[in-house]
Amino acid sequence: MTAERSTRDRLLDSFETLLVSDGSRAATLEAVAAHAGASKGGLLYHFHTKDELIGAMLDRLRDHAAADVERMRVAPEGPAAYYLNTSVDSGSDFDRALIATARIAQENVDAASETLDAVRADWLAVLFEHLNDRPLAQAIQLMGDGLYFNDTTGNQDPQALTSAHEILKRLGL
Amino acid sequence: MTAERSTRDRLLDSFETLLVSDGSRAATLEAVAAHAGASKGGLLYHFHTKDELIGAMLDRLRDHAAADVERMRVAPEGPAAYYLNTSVDSGSDFDRALIATARIAQENVDAASETLDAVRADWLAVLFEHLNDRPLAQAIQLMGDGLYFNDTTGNQDPQALTSAHEILKRLGL
DNA sequence: ACTACTGTACCGTCTGGACGGTACATATTC
DNA sequence: GAATATGTACCGTCCAGACGGTACAGTAGT
């Protein structure tokens, strides 16, 4: 009857947090365990290797993504606006998982790149399905990616999101 | 009368290459030296610490950026189209320096984040100066960022650039 | 008794950095 | 013009600490 997060989940949370806020270099097994208030032995009980920890992170992203695509499909403001809005909400669990995975992908981890590609393809499919206009769908995805990019490099201009919406309006959305 | 690249330059080139293709984790001093065909001692002769190596990388980016802003200002196709085109040309020296710096910035290196912000501000200024339309300027920059983001995570859809240009056309450019 | 851990000790490897040495080109002094 | 410095551009080796991973003994709750 408790909503407490399991140690396993907390370890994944910590891995995510360290990746997002300090980069892959800081996300060592010891640092992850310490951040989660667990021992290194405890971490290795749940994840036998670092690859297994990464794999669990990718599973988590896929779960979030499947749910997000559903929300996007039925969003009252439409998929395009929903997509842009959530692209800048880097506080959400989903976004954290996404950014964390992007950082892993940078170290030439194929599984991470592939997961990322799959998620992006799903998004684009929903945008295209709704708009029936490929250039527009891709441009929206590009702007969403841009909002991410800014967010993840510490550059946060609150006007950027407003500008993206304004452009959508001019394009007849 | 020779155009040979100095060891110092080659070391910086290698640092850049390792950052771009394998991430910050792979860009160790030893790996950089080995990639440049130099010894670790030789590297440390030119750059006394890793921070100094990073500093030199930021200097290089600033130099490239200043030149790029000038080219953008006088580009015959206009700053907007020039910006989008160069955003996807990740083979250029400038882009390599930019991506390398973005990776450094992810490890909470303030100097790198600040340099990146400054470069982005310069670009936006030229776009705004030319278009006199803030939302449009920002949207273009977002699409450019998106093209980068895709490029750097291994996802390279050649249609994306075409779509971005198509949207510019629809917006009256 | 089983699950879910903690804690400690350890291994082999990698890391940033310090350091001493080498080769050679260019002054400086006599 | 020979001898002696000085500076530049490196190489190779060493070190303390951190890394991913292993092993295992112990503990607390169910």
Instruction: Summarize pLDDT for B40-73 with one digit per residue, the tens.
Output: 888 999 999 999 999 999 999 999 999 999 999 9
Q: Which residue in B96, B93, B68 sits closest to B82, CA to CA?
A: B68
Region A153-172: mean pLDDT is: 84
State pLDDT tens for residues B89-125.
656 788 889 989 999 998 888 999 999 989 999 999 9
Partner residue facing B145 (CB), from A146, A159, A166: A146
Is residue B35 exposed (0-12), middle (13-18) or buried (19+ Cβ within 10 Å)?
middle
Domain borders along chain B are: 1-48, 58-170
Most confident of A38-42, A166-170, B148-152: A166-170
Reported confidence tier of residue A1, pLDDT bands at 50, 70, 90:
very low
Distance A16 CA to C6 C1' (A): 23
User: B118: nearest CA in chain A?
Assistant: A155
- B39 φ/ψ sector (left φ>0, alpha ψ -120 to 50, else beta): beta
What is the C-alpha separation between B118 and A155, in angstroms, rounded?
10
CATH superfamily of the domain spanning A1-48: Homeodomain-like (1.10.10.60)
What is the C-alpha separation between A143 and A161, in angstroms, rounded?
9
> Are B23 and A108 a contacting pair at CB < 8 A?
yes
> Are A23 and B107 a contacting pair at CB < 8 A?
yes
> Are B139 and A164 a contacting pair at CB < 8 A?
yes
What is the C-alpha separation between B170 and B115, in angstroms, rounded?
33
Nearest CA-CA distance, residue B72 and chain A, Å = 20
Q: Give B68's DSSP letter.
A: H
User: A24: nearest CA in chain B?
Assistant: B25
Nearest CA-CA distance, residue B142 and chain A, Å = 4
- Give me chain A's average pLDDT, please: 87
Most distant pair of Cα atoms in chain A: their distance: 57
Q: Quick one: what percent of chain B has pLDDT higher than 70?
A: 94
**Residue A91 scores a pLDDT above 50:** yes
What is the C-alpha separation between A163 and A125, in angstroms, rounded?
24
